[in-house]
């Protein structure tokens, strides 16, 4: 993956809870998407170093509920302010304190810290929620429709063989681009979830 210098590269990541499972990555330059599937954290950090993104939207929880100091802490809230905002919008999600979400949250928080050490800003993204706002299918409902929906939003480079993780990574990156252009919002305030504001 060759370095291409640009001030507006956005790195979208559809993070898996375990390095043994595939993670989708999208390097978005303008509306041109380049996608790849990786496994390890080292691969993710190498791509981040090579591309130097201005923003890295990640599909993984990057904050804890109020009152909780760690995932093991049973005190405090079960839901975060951004989770409650998703509820109000009627967007379905999994709370971060249950089952596999705990592993994903742990990996996401670690990745956020590593990216910060590299000087890269990361934000939490939720591609399924963004796709709901845009009115395009989620991957589990219609993969072909999701692929076409991203193309209809002007994204080029959406390959026919792009897998569901890569399509969600494109969605993450596109939300980041729209946010930088003033068409996004941070649900729940600072440390919340980045979402588009309109279809």
User: Could you report the per-residue pLDDT of 80-98, keeping only the tens digit for each?
Assistant: 888 888 888 878 777 777 7
Q: Which tens digits make up the pLDDT trace of 34-48?
A: 999 999 999 999 999
d(CA 53, CA 49): 8
Spell out the residues 6+ positions from residue 72 whose beta carbon is closer than 8 angstroms to its own: none
Q: What is the pLDDT of residue 7?
A: 55
* Mean pLDDT to the nearest integer, 106-131: 95
Angle between helices 41-51 and 99-117 (to 10 degrees): 40
* Mean pLDDT to the nearest integer, 109-129: 95
How many structural domains compose the chain? Answer: 1
In a domain, 166, yes or no: yes
Which range of residues forms the domain containing residue 37? Answer: 9-191
d(CA 156, CA 195): 21
pTM of the complete model: 0.89
d(CA 32, CA 50): 17
Q: What are phi and psi of 34, to 5 degrees?
A: -120, 125
Q: Residue 156's domain is classified under what CATH number?
A: 3.30.420
**What are the residues facing 184 on neighbouring strands?**
196
């Amino acid at each position: 993956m060759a370095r291409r210098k640009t001030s507006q590269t956005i790195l979208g990541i559809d993070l898996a809870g375990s390095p043994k499972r595939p993670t989708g990555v999208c390097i978005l330059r303008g509306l041109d998407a380049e996608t790849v599937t990786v496994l390890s954290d080292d691969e993710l950090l190498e791509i981040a170093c090579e591309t130097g993104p201005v923003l890295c939207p990640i599909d993984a929880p990057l904050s804890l509920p109020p009152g909780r100091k760690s995932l093991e802490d049973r005190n405090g809230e079960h839901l975060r302010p951004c989770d409650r905002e998703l509820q109000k919008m009627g967007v379905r999600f999994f709370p971060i304190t249950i089952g596999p979400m705990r592993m994903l949250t742990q990996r996401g928080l670690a990745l956020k810290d590593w990216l910060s050490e590299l000087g890269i800003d990361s934000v939490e993204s939720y591609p399924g929620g963004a796709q709901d706002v845009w009115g395009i299918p989620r991957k589990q409902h219609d993969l072909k429709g999701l692929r076409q929906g991203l193309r209809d939003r002007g994204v080029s480079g959406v390959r026919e063989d792009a897998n569901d993780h890569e399509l969600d990574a494109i969605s993450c990156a596109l939300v980041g681009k729209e946010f930088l252009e003033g068409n996004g919002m941070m649900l729940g305030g600072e440390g919340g979830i980045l979402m588009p504001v309109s279809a």
